[in-house]
Chains A and B, each alone.
Chain A
Amino acid sequence: QSALTQPASVSGSPGQSITISCTGTSSDVGGHNYVSWYQQHPGKAPKLMIYDVTNRPSGVSNRFSGSKSGNTASLTISGLQAEDEADYYCSSYRSRSTTLYVFGTGTKVTVL
């Protein structure tokens, strides 16, 4: 089961915007609006940041936004802050498979 493809690392200065891509196939990212994004700080459990491509859970900063085009989903962090430094993972439901969910390879975000 191939993982979704993310860049290994993305960096930006405080206040800048960054975008993390998540590339899959027509069986997962491109076939459904079931992409979610998770933030994980070292030694901590993942935290849901975006669900169903664009929706933000209650309590998550509006500096986080999601989008999708074709087989690629994206997470944008605006007004980058020091506390945004973490690992980020995308996930997608996968149809025509008994492996129902697939995660991305993960992206380390560094705030310079």
Chain B
Amino acid sequence: EVQLVESGGGLVQPGGSLRLSCAASGFTFSSNWMSWVRQAPGKGLEWVANIKQDGSEMYYVDSVKGRFTISRDNAKNSLYLQMNSLRAEDTAVYYCATEGGHWFDPWGQGTLVTVFS
């Protein structure tokens, strides 16, 4: 069974840092681009970042550039999102998702990040 399980969310103050992890199983992790997508409470989906199969290319939404870093460890079948200088507007459920082509499938269950002051 294909499965993605996120972890690492929690409460953090503005300016703080968190590292999200996504453990993949049931498919060849190293064969796919991977993405992080977030959803603020009661709001829509927002693509955050993605990374190529070998980690050589990464792309980010403008609002997180310079603050977030996406990475992966294919030996551990794991995807990461290092989030620094967190802001209130980064509060959201963060999903990891596999890119089959130019689409996202499957998705993890999400992990909640709350930035509070």
Contact = CB atoms under 8 A, between A and B. Distances in A.
Contacts of B59: 98-100
Contact of B103 (A3, A36, A98, A104): A36
Given A1-B61, A100-B50, A46 B103 contact: no
Interface stretch (B12-20, B21-29, B78-86, B105-113): B105-113
Contacts of B108: 45
A89 interface: yes
Interface string B88-117: 000000010000111111111110000000
A91 B103 contact: yes
- What interface size band does chain A fall in? 20 to 34
B60 A98 contact: yes
Interface of B: 35, 37, 44-47, 50, 59-62, 65, 95, 100-110
Interface of A: 1, 3, 32, 34, 36, 38, 45-48, 51-52, 57, 89, 91, 93, 98-106
**Shortest 8 CB-CB distances between A and B: which pairs?**
A34-B102, A48-B105, A36-B103, A51-B103, A101-B47, A45-B107, A106-B44, A103-B45
